[in-house]
Amino acid sequence: MPKIVDHDQRRIELVDATWRIIARHGIEGATMREIALEAGFANGALKPYFPTKDDLITFAFGHVFNRTNQRIAGRSAGKAGLEALRAFCQEVLPLDEDRINEARIVIPFWQKALTDPAKAELHETSMNQWRAALQGHLREARDRGEVTAAVGEEDIVNQLMSMLLGAQIVAAMSPGEHLPAQLDAALDAYLTLLRPVPARGEVGENDA
Amino acid sequence: MPKIVDHDQRRIELVDATWRIIARHGIEGATMREIALEAGFANGALKPYFPTKDDLITFAFGHVFNRTNQRIAGRSAGKAGLEALRAFCQEVLPLDEDRINEARIVIPFWQKALTDPAKAELHETSMNQWRAALQGHLREARDRGEVTAAVGEEDIVNQLMSMLLGAQIVAAMSPGEHLPAQLDAALDAYLTLLRPVPARGEVGENDA
């Protein structure tokens, strides 16, 4: 019987190897030869999967996007409105080492997308999916009276999208020890801004 | 008399040429040879200014940072508190083609900084300067009663920093026609979230 090769699994192993190489040497240092070596492939064996490094980077971006969406689905199961919105954002934010490594894959993808229309389109499509999800949660939160800020939904979605993408830069550039806690706190504080302001008398320590 | 060469001016001409080349071909396509050609230099004449493309990218980032700070100084002159905060953010946001091109320089710099500690440090120092400026304006806005949101200053600064950096990605990836207006509207809406909520009776159209 011929050996059965799970090609999808092989692709993911390659992406994982790419990850480690990029984290170590940056994308320029990540030659196809090194990636093959790291993944335990013979030098030419990568070609059928990823003819060029560009193909690999595109696949890696898709892989990060799918992984994030799987985490979101897990975390937001059974949640609605503002809680679902919060779960979504928390899974996109780079709040642990694994996700900071994801940011390290996404930044080279962005750099490539600057001059590669196919990559830019993939980015646009992916981000539009996220925008739609955020919009859905936000609308639900409004309906439930959890969001009362006198600010349009589109503006809130734009703020969140910029914040989530910017956090990838912040985390990848300065992965300090307290950073995940800071990003998480900033998200919570932002959601507080959207919530109903308690009527006078309900506020505790801020009362004069 | 020997010809006097203004080396700082030459460096800026080179950066401007780099800009145009990167905008056209991306950073990988931008060879030192092409940059020299675009700037009207003989092929070897770049070396004394920028021994490597890496040096050039670092200089270009510094140049963008300084240009932005000059614009900020101009725009926020005579302004204080929330108005100064707004002017600051508007000058960092990629609200016109020139600033979208700046974003196209900054993204390759970020990508390089992922594995270049000197670049990462330059980024950190520059961003800390901005954080301090935002914090100063915010404190003043609090003192003047323009910001009353029950959210800590550090959280607001973190939100703004992520939003400003994320907007560079959004603009460079999808430079649509309406994007600058959307980014500007999202900023204004965010500042609205920080402002005092009008007492009941002061609100017009939202009253039942």
Mean pLDDT of A154-174: 95
Could you give the CA distance from residue B107 to residue B109 in angstroms, rounded to a whole number?
Answer: 5
Of A107, A167, A203, the CB nearest to B114: A107
Confirm if A31 and A40 have CB atoms less than 8 A apart: no
Model pLDDT, residue A28: 67
**B70 and B113 within one domain:** yes
Assess if residue A16 is contained within a domain: yes
**A190 and A91 within one domain:** yes
Write the CATH number for B47. Answer: 1.10.10
Chain A partners within 8 Å of B120 (Cβ): 173-174
Using one digit for the tens of pLDDT, what is the confidence trace for B56-66?
A: 888 889 989 99
Name which of B196, B200, B190 is nearest B85 in CA terms: B190
pTM of the full structure: 0.88
**B143 and B65 within one domain:** yes
Assess if residue A207 is contained within a domain: no
Of A25, A112, A169, the CB nearest to B115: A25
Is the per-residue pLDDT at A208 higher than 50?
no
Question: pLDDT class for A205, splitting at 50, 70, 90?
Answer: very low
Tell which of B33, B51, B69 closes a domain: B51
Pick from B34, B162, B194 the residue to mutate for testing the A interface (most A CBs within 10 Å): B162
Structural domain of B173: 53-194
Average pLDDT, chain A: 86
**B188 and B154 within one domain:** yes
Nearest chain B alpha carbon to A122: B173
Chain B partners within 8 Å of A89 (Cβ): none
Give, in order, the Cα–Cα distances in Å from B114 to each of A66, A127, A154, B144. 23, 23, 32, 40
**B88 and B33 within one domain:** no
Is the per-residue pLDDT at B10 higher than 90?
no
For chain A, what percent of residues have pLDDT higher than 90?
51
**A85 and A110 within one domain:** yes
The answer to whether the complex's ipTM is over 0.85 is yes
Assess if residue A42 is contained within a domain: yes
Domain count, chain B: 2
**B107 and B67 within one domain:** yes
Query: Is there a contact between A151 and B189 if contact means CB atoms under 8 Å apart?
Result: yes
Query: Is there a contact between B110 and A173 if contact means CB atoms under 8 Å apart?
Result: yes
Chain B partners within 8 Å of A127 (Cβ): 173-174
**A160 and A65 within one domain:** yes
Using one digit for the tens of pLDDT, what is the confidence trace for B30-60?
A: 788 888 888 788 878 788 888 888 888 888 8
Query: Is there a contact between B110 and A193 if contact means CB atoms under 8 Å apart?
Result: no
Taken in order A178, A182, A188, A192, the sign of the CA dihedral is positive
Of A25, A111, A156, the CB nearest to B108: A111
Using one digit for the tens of pLDDT, what is the confidence trace for A8-25?
A: 887 777 777 777 777 677
**A46 and A138 within one domain:** no
Using one digit for the tens of pLDDT, what is the confidence trace for B127-153?
A: 999 999 999 999 999 999 999 988 999
